[in-house]
Structure 1
Amino acid sequence: MTTIFTHKPTIEGKRVKLRPVQAQDVPILHRMLQDAEAAILTGTVHSSSQTTLPWTVDDLRVTYERWSSADDRLVLAVIDQATNAMVGEVVLNDWNELNRSCGFRTFLGAEGRGRGLGSEATELIVRHGIHELGLHRIGLEVYAFNPRARHVYEKVGFRYEGTGRDALWFDEQWIDVHYMSILETDVPLSQ
């Protein structure tokens, strides 16, 4: 079946390039996923003392190999143009054809944080989704303990829609999740 996610493009920005994940990226992804801060902020773990994730390099290789040809999602590596190093990923998923909508998620390893790379990568994938793929709406979830990510999303144009109370059990307490989205009418045709 051919969908809007069948083609896996390369998207060039000023500081980052988005490209399909390649086999040699998997060990780097594995290392990045072992980063405690990334695991916490994405809600992947339920305790700040949990420092490793159960996925092996082989587990990830199988998953990313499947995703590389999947027509239900677009998974792209975030490449730092200055160093040519992979620093994270951006993903469009949960596509709803009739509503022309999908979900968005991202994560950056420690090497990619704090330099605006995540902002540019998010903007590039959103523009691609709206202008090239014809999406009307892209939605996301961000946990209340991740204000840095929420700031990035707001800077790109995502708007707060509401809060899911007590959505994540973390360090013996409940954490809220914030729902955000961006519409095709929110994204200018050019920058």
Structure 2
Amino acid sequence: MINTSALREKPTLTGERVRLVPLAPEHTDAYFAAGLDEEVRRLTGTHRQITYAEAREWCETRADRADRLDLAITDAANGRYLGELSLYGVASENESAGYRIALSAIGFTGQGLGREATQLVLEYAFEKVGLHRVWLYVYAFNMRAIAVYRSCGFSVEGRLRDALLWEGRRHDALLMAVLRTGFRAG
């Protein structure tokens, strides 16, 4: 049984190096800047740059959404914005949800921060929300992310051939998922 109040509450989750806080208006500038970064856009397959007004509206409306969880990833020591993540597409009847994460490419990749953030949100998803399955899509060229997801218990379940056309080249997307019974906490 899904605990929908765990999605409405917008928790703060703290690890050793990252702190996940509700995505809010104060994150607008950093969220917008991350969306302009070419590497972030490539890794997420985002062709269109969002406008500042769209970024502001997104950050302002996340607290109102009872059907999903959008959190800013911040540095636990100084509160600096590192990226954002979401549990979305929650299917209560199937006890499942989608997951996405985007770290700002400016100096924050390769440090284990995404792994820690993913572990924190998965623990919350399985223990507090009551999910059984969390799934995601990742582009096959993003080997670093695939390794992180595997280390958290995700397995490849399928391949979407030629799902992304980026700068004239086609790339596959992998469908990965982790079950409550396969989750590996930090």
Q: Is the 8 A contact 1:108 1:118 kept in 2?
A: yes
Q: Name which of structure 1's ranges 63-72 and 100-109 shifts more when overlaid on structure 2.
A: 63-72
Q: Give the TM-score normalised by structure 2.
A: 0.92
Match for 1:55 among 45, 50, 57? Answer: 50
Aligned to 1:111: 107
Aligned to 2:12: 10
Structure 1 unaligned regions, length at least 5: 46-52
CA distance in 2: counterparts of 1:169 and 1:9, whole angstroms? 36
Structure showing the higher helix proportion among its residues: 2
Aligned to 2:41: 39
CA distance in 2: counterparts of 1:106 and 1:64, whole angstroms? 15
Q: Deviations over 1:6-48 (max 9, x none)?
A: 1100001011000101212101110111111010011002xxx
Q: 1:43 is aligned with what amino acid?
A: G
Q: Secondary structure at the match of 2:7?
A: coil
Q: 1:145 is aligned with what amino acid?
A: F
Q: Is the 8 A contact 1:21 1:64 kept in 2?
A: yes
Aligned to 1:25: 27
1:54-133 alignment runs, 5 A limit:
54-109=49-104, 110-133=106-129
Aligned to 1:187: 183
Structure 2 unaligned regions, length at least 5: none
The alpha-carbon deviation at position 64 of structure 1 amounts to 2.0
CA distance in 2: counterparts of 1:117 and 1:54, whole angstroms? 25
Q: Give the TM-score normalised by structure 1.
A: 0.90
CA distance in 2: counterparts of 1:113 and 1:83, whole angstroms? 17
CA distance in 2: counterparts of 1:100 and 1:82, whole angstroms? 34
Q: Deviations over 1:151-179 (max 9, x none)?
A: 11011111111111111112212210001
The alpha-carbon deviation at position 187 of structure 1 amounts to 2.3
The alpha-carbon deviation at position 120 of structure 1 amounts to 0.2
CA distance in 2: counterparts of 1:164 and 1:172, whole angstroms? 18
The alpha-carbon deviation at position 180 of structure 1 amounts to 0.4
CA distance in 1: counterparts of 2:154 and 2:45, whole angstroms? 20
**Is residue 2:115 matched to residue 1:155?**
no
Q: Secondary structure at the match of 1:132?
A: helix
